[in-house]
């Protein structure tokens, strides 16, 4: 009896140790990966629904880890958030896009969206990073901060929101209608943009309940004068449906998959030639 219990508890201990060691090593590998240039900035074009022109992009992180190969953002971003490594990653994205700015369209109608974790709003950290990295570049394209929230509803500092607006940054709520992003955000953040999550885009023509939510989010945003982006547009039918209802921007595989930011100028040339 006793040896069995002992063996079981040893086994359990070993499993817990293994799990912790694995987590630790991945978060260690994130910090290492930043210095070792393992991260890349990809971008996905945003299409103006009315004109069909590309007038913006969203920046998306990619990680090619030496040992494990490609690791999906859905795996490493939540981990980075928990390990306080998300701010260095965001700074990496900002630095990279500032370096690429000379190759991107130089007009105020072109906008660049970055994903920012709610924790980065704490202590004005995001404002300082933008002032230090984005602002000195004095860039033409507008910056949009897409606020993502994975864990509990954060207490977002109102003064941070107004400071962002003061320095000309527009605020978007990502994945609207899912998870923790709630109606209360609309009042607290006064967003300029709502992003319709891809589960709602996918519901068009297939899932009556979610398609009803899509319609309601669209009319809500229009009444509040908030600009709308639909993500995950994969078919002409979805694009048509969203355009008919006045969604401002469309984004998804139907137009372009995320690509290395260095490849964007060539993609844009081809898109404009079409
Ligand atoms: P997100 O911000 O909602 O980004 C949209 C995701 O949908 C991206 O996944 C994109 O590649 C994918 N996508 C785009 N078009 C389509 C489509 O037509 N169909 C489908 N099925 N998917 C599409 P990705 O790049 O794997 O990123 C996943 C999430 O990781 C992002 O979701 C975002 O929340 C987070 N993330 C990515 N990069 C960053 C970053 O630099 N900072 C932060 N804080 N989060 C990031
Ligand atoms: Ca996003
Ligand atoms: Ca999203
Ligand atoms: Ca998402």
Q: φ and ψ at 194, to 5 degrees? A: -115, 135
188/211 Cα distance (integer angstroms): 26
Ligand 1 atom having least distance to the Cα of 258? 11
Angle, alpha carbons 42-269-104 (nearest 5°): 50
Structure tokens at 213: 């939510």
70 lines ligand 1 (CB under 6 A): no
Predicted model pTM: 0.90
24 band by pLDDT with thresholds 50, 70 and 90: low
Q: Which ligand is nearest to the CA of 77?
A: 1
pLDDT-based confidence at 153, cuts 50/70/90?
low
For the CA of 41, the nearest ligand: 1
Longest CA span, the chain:
77
Q: Is the CB of 232 under 6 A from ligand 1?
A: yes
pLDDT tens digits along 212-263: 989 999 999 999 999 999 999 999 999 999 999 999 999 999 999 999 999 9
Q: Render pLDDT for 101-145 as a digit per residue (tens, 0 to 9).
A: 999 998 888 999 999 988 888 878 899 999 999 988 877 889 999
* % of the chain surpassing 90 pLDDT: 62
**Pocket lining: 253 vs ligand 1, CB cutoff 6 Å:** yes
Residue 80 CA, closest ligand 1 atom number = 44
Mutation to probe ligand 1, out of 231, 233, 235, 252 (largest number of atoms < 8 A from CB): 231
* Structural contact between residues 85 and 28, judged by C-beta atoms closer than 8 angstroms: no
């Amino acid at each position: 009896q006793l040896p069995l219990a002992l063996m079981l508890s040893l086994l359990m201990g070993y499993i817990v140790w293994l799990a912790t060691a694995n987590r630790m090593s991945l978060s260690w590998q994130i910090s290492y990966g930043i210095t070792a240039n393992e991260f890349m900035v990809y971008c996905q074009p945003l299409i103006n629904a009315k004109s069909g022109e590309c007038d913006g992009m969203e920046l998306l992180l990619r990680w090619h880890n030496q040992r494990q190969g490609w690791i999906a953002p859905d795996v490493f971003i939540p981990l980075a958030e928990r390990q306080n490594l998300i701010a260095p990653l965001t700074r990496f994205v900002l630095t990279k896009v500032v370096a690429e700015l000379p190759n991107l369209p130089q007009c105020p109608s072109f906008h660049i969206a970055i994903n920012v974790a709610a924790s980065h709003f704490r202590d004005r950290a995001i404002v300082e990073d933008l002032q230090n990295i984005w602002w000195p570049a004095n860039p033409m394209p507008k910056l949009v901060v897409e606020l993502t929230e994975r864990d509990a509803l954060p207490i977002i500092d109102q003064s941070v929101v107004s400071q962002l607006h003061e320095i000309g940054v527009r605020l978007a709520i990502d994945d609207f209608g899912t998870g923790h992003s709630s109606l209360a955000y609309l009042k607290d953040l006064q967003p300029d943009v709502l992003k319709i999550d891809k589960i709602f885009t996918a519901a068009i023509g297939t899932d009556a309940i979610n398609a009803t939510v899509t319609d309601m989010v669209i009319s809500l945003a229009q009444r509040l004068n908030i600009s709308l982006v639909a993500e995950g547009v994969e078919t002409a039918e979805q694009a048509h449906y969203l355009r008919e209802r006045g969604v401002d921007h469309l984004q998804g595989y139907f137009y372009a998959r995320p690509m290395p930011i260095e490849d964007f100028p060539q993609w844009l040339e081809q898109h404009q030639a079409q």
